[in-house]
């Protein structure tokens, strides 16, 4: 696994590559956040994720986890925001993927009629290969995010 330069929350607004989408699930923010906070739960609803586990801490800012996605590789993540029922964000600190040198994800939760709106941002500094693959990566990541939130809604009973 190669190290990646960690980023802060401001990076999400200034990253050279960003994928953003919003979705609504029929569950309250606390229930959605609980699904986010359990690494094993991600393997049930995030496409291609087949492993996720805490490696340092059990949640909260500074905690770390490792995830593995088929075709995309392994990632080591460090949490940079942890606001139960409201926000869940992490920076990548290591990866086997050749697509980016920096990367972060941000999940913001807002209560709406009938459930929770999830606003997701994936931000990255792509490598040369990542820049060449950017149009395809953007489409694939957007599709994965939409599928993930549909699956999450079903997983949570909505």
* 0.85 exceeded by pTM: yes
**Residue pair 136/27 in contact by the 8 Å Cβ criterion:** no
Residue numbers of the domain that contains 43: 2-155
Give the chain's domain count: 1
pLDDT in tens, 24-51: 999 999 999 999 999 999 999 999 999 9
**Residue pair 126/19 in contact by the 8 Å Cβ criterion:** no
pLDDT in tens, 120-144: 999 999 999 999 999 999 999 999 9
152's enclosing H/E stretch is helix 134-155
User: Cα angle at 119 between 77 and 134, to 5 degrees?
Assistant: 65
124's enclosing H/E stretch is strand 115-126
What CATH number does residue 118 fall under?
Answer: 3.30.530.20
């Amino acid at each position: 696994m190669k190290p990646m330069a960690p980023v802060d929350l401001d990076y999400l607004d200034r990253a050279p590559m960003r994928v953003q989408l919003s979705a609504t699930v029929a569950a309250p923010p606390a229930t959605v956040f609980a699904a986010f906070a359990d690494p094993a739960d991600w393997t049930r609803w995030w496409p291609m994720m087949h492993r996720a586990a805490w490696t340092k801490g059990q949640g909260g800012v500074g905690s770390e986890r490792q995830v593995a996605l088929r075709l995309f590789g392994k990632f080591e993540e460090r949490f940079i925001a942890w606001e139960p029922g409201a926000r869940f964000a992490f920076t990548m600190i290591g990866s086997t993927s050749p697509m980016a040198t920096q990367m972060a994800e941000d999940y913001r939760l807002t209560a709406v009629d009938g459930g929770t709106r999830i606003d997701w941002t994936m931000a990255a500094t792509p490598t040369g290969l990542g820049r060449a693959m950017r149009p395809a990566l953007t489409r694939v990541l957007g599709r994965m995010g939409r599928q993930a939130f549909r699956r999450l809604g079903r997983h949570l009973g909505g």
